[in-house]
Amino acid sequence: MDHYAGIDVSLATSSVCILDATGRVIQEAKIPSEPEALAAFLAGCSHHLVRIGLEAGPLSQWLYAGLVDAGLPAVLLETRQVKAALSAMRVMTDRNDARGIAQLIRMGWFRPVHAKAIPAQEVRLLLSARKQIQTKLLDLEGTIRGLLRGFELKVGPVGVAGFERRIRELMTGQTTLERVMEPMLRARQALSSTLAIQAAWQRA
């Protein structure tokens, strides 16, 4: 008999539910969220698995790739569709979510999602990391401007290269400001250097 599996992915462990063709729960388990552990459990069960469903997400991409590499019929499901279907459940738990995903897989009520290749994921990772560094850099510069403004010291319009020079001009001879601003300027230098390195990686 054909069987269908749903996996609700969490950081440490994932809930797995296996249904038969009639929708009856045959087996449930908590498995470490590692491709090898999930693949070993699913490949080792005595059921003929037609499809294995996972909701698309940051963690599931990695697990999906591991299941496919192990020769298992894994499918990534569109997130909004899964959430809409599971929202009808009275109690939202990992166990019930796994059951719901398995039912979607069994009935064919799902929209498969294309799994991004590793190079595409790496590019997205680089862009996301660069955006985070850039945001932190701008936040830090804004904080420095705000702190100096409290002492009636206005930075004014300066370019990226002239920012640190302008700050040093404003705080010259003011011991307390120098003590406060020096660590912040070093942090800004570190963020700027990291941003430059990431930009070089992106161009390569």
Assign 146 to helix, strand or coil: helix
CA–CA separation, 99 vs 23, rounded Å?
9
Please report the pLDDT score of residue 121 as a whole number. 65
Tell me the mean pLDDT in the region 117-137.
80
Please report the pLDDT score of residue 134 as a whole number. 92
Q: Residue 53 forms beta bridges with which residues?
A: 6, 75
Domain segments of the chain as ranges: 2-107, 118-203
More confident residue, 50 or 89: 50
Q: Compute CA distances 22 → 41, 98, 106, whole Å.
A: 22, 16, 9
CA–CA separation, 174 vs 152, rounded Å?
13
Mean pLDDT of the chain: 88
Question: Which CATH superfamily hosts domain 2-107?
Answer: ATPase, nucleotide binding domain (3.30.420.40)
Please report the pLDDT score of residue 128 as a whole number. 83
The lowest-confidence range among 20-24, 102-106, 120-124, 174-178 is 120-124
Q: What is the pLDDT of residues 72-125, one digit of tens each?
A: 999 999 888 788 777 766 666 878 899 999 999 999 888 888 666 666 667 777
Is the predicted pLDDT of residue 3 greater than 80, yes or no? yes
Is the predicted pLDDT of residue 56 greater than 90, yes or no? no
Work out the percent of the chain whose per-residue pLDDT is above 70.
Answer: 92
Is the predicted pLDDT of residue 64 greater than 80, yes or no? yes
Q: What's this model's pTM, rounded to 2 decimal places? A: 0.64
Q: How many CB atoms lie within 10 A of CB 177?
A: 17
Please report the pLDDT score of residue 35 as a whole number. 93
Please report the pLDDT score of residue 181 as a whole number. 93
Please report the pLDDT score of residue 147 as a whole number. 92
Cβ atoms of 14 and 24 closer than 8 Å = no
Cβ atoms of 33 and 11 closer than 8 Å = yes
Is the predicted pLDDT of residue 6 greater than 80, yes or no? yes
